Amino acid sequence: MSKRIIFMGTPEFSVPTLEHLIKSKHEVLAVYSQSPKRAHRGKKINSSAVENFARKNSLIVRTPEILDSEQEYNFIKNLGPDIVIVVAYGKIIPKRFLNLSKYGFINIHASLLPKWRGAAPIQRSIMNSDTETGISIMKINEELDAGPIMHQAKINMNQNMDANTLSEILSKLGAKNLIVAIDQIENKEIKFKEQKHSNASYAKKINKHEGKIEWNESAKKILAKINGLTPNPGAWFEYKGERYKVWKAKILESKGKIGFTINNELTIACKENSIQILEIQKEGKSKLSLEKFLLGNQIKIGENII
């Protein structure tokens, strides 16, 4: 039987789930997304990826600055949804809203809960050099990402996986598994399992200042930072007073004086092994491959990279 669904999501990560819902037998009553934001320097207002996708598909869209209002409460109540699906919406769901749908508010979270609750589970899992991650489908309660879990799906990770790639993989994995989960809810085949709260860890929001590369760390840890912060906000270093963002790198077993280039191909010695930069972006310029970068930017052997 078709379910009446309200969807809440904001970034590109949320779009595959909404797309799967539209193509399913279920009815999407309305879509909530964060309100449009001004671009850099305030020149242009940008709508979210979810809002753009929803409007292209002629769905009802709500983008309130404040969710916890009588207007939004009554709007959801009057629609009478069976389920509210939440995927990276970016706002806390008010407690009084949680009983407005028959089966509650169901969230897709990009980690294997209770590990990495919070705002940046994808980035933190990479920066922590985790070997596996996945998605958790859970029922939202009053505490952040602490509700009972109905389904999880795992994937293996490797040290070359960046946040952009992992986000795409997990968004598709979550979308695929959600449709199955909704059917299981309908057929009363699912059981919600409480999380083991004593095992919880938290993925705090990424601070752009975390992106500074510290060469006195191991190459493995530095690569994890580079990959975890790609594409945004990015890992970076300074050279002769200018900032450079590192998009892609690899580990080499070569050694040298920590923080100094050890060849003419942008390889910097770390506490353990070294990092060779493969894609780089000088502040104010476009991203370049190492080969193209070196044509116009000579950073030779023995240079100190801050």
Please state, in angstroms and as integers, the Cα–Cα distance from residue 69 to each residue in 64, 83, 96, 220, following that order: 9, 20, 11, 47
The SS3 of residue 291 is helix
The SS3 of residue 102 is coil
**Residue among 127, 284, 114 nearest 206 (CA):** 127
Question: Which pairing describes strands 202-203 and 149-156: parallel, antiparallel, or unpaired?
Answer: unpaired
What pLDDT does 10 receive? 97
Q: Region of 284 please: left (phi>0), alpha (psi -120 to 50) or beta.
A: left
Per-residue pLDDT of the chain (306 residues; tens, 9 = 90+): 889 999 999 999 999 999 999 999 999 999 999 999 876 655 678 999 999 999 999 999 999 999 999 999 999 999 999 999 999 999 999 999 999 999 999 999 999 999 999 999 999 999 999 999 999 999 999 999 999 999 999 999 999 999 999 999 999 999 999 999 998 887 777 889 999 999 999 999 999 899 999 999 999 999 999 999 999 999 999 999 999 999 999 999 999 999 999 999 999 999 999 999 999 999 999 999 999 999 988 899 999 999
Domains of the chain as residue ranges with CATH: 4-203 (3.40.50.170), 208-296 (3.10.25.10)
Answering whether pTM is above 0.85, one says: yes
54-72 confidence digits (pLDDT tens) = 999 999 999 999 999 999 9
